[in-house]
Amino acid sequence: MNKSMIISAVAVAMAASNAVTALAANPKIGGAAMYEDKNIVENAVNSKDHTTLVAAVKAAGLVSTLEGKGPFTVFAPTNEAFEALPKGTVETLLKPENKAQLTKVLTCRVVAADAMANTVAKMIKDDGGEHDIRAVGGCVLKAKESMGKITLTDEMGGTATVTIADVKQSNGVIHVVDKVLLPKM
């Protein structure tokens, strides 16, 4: 093997490594790849861990909003987080007569900005350890950082931890959380 063949082989290997790194940059959610060129809804529907959230977004009529230009930051609770709510809560919220209440719950986890975790962490630090995040639903989430994890406290005093951060979307970012954030009703 001559020198130019070795250099070519190394270049191909480096290109392949860079391609894998680029693909691995966005974490999988619910076993599904999340693509930066797809919007929040297009990606979320593929996550087996977010079927309840997707059903709720559809029931509230928010699909077209979350498919919109954005940017949006969505703190997305898993199915497990919804299951931890008191028995019957999800079923009650999904009823057509409770659409306004469901919309409030959902929009209190959406921020009209593209807020990556390092940006949120900087705001927390700049504000002395706690930062108020105003959601599009009018709610205020209290963000803190502890042991490298961002936590959010809702208006009811419940706290959710960001378990998967910085899942880039074409119209914003998703941060997976382990609890359902609730507004004052």
- Looking at residue 21, its pLDDT comes to 37
How far from chain centre, in Å, is Cα 67? Answer: 14
- The C-alpha atoms of residue 57 and residue 185 are separated, in whole angstroms, by 19
Query: What's the whole-model pTM score?
Result: 0.83
pLDDT in tens, 29-67: 888 888 999 999 999 999 999 999 999 999 999 999 999
* Domains along the sequence of the chain with CATH: 3-177 (2.30.180.10)
- The C-alpha atoms of residue 11 and residue 1 are separated, in whole angstroms, by 15
pLDDT in tens, 75-120: 999 999 999 999 999 999 999 999 999 999 999 999 999 999 999 9
- The C-alpha atoms of residue 129 and residue 137 are separated, in whole angstroms, by 24
Q: How many C-beta atoms surround the C-beta of residue 5 within 10 A?
A: 9
* DSSP state, residue 45: T
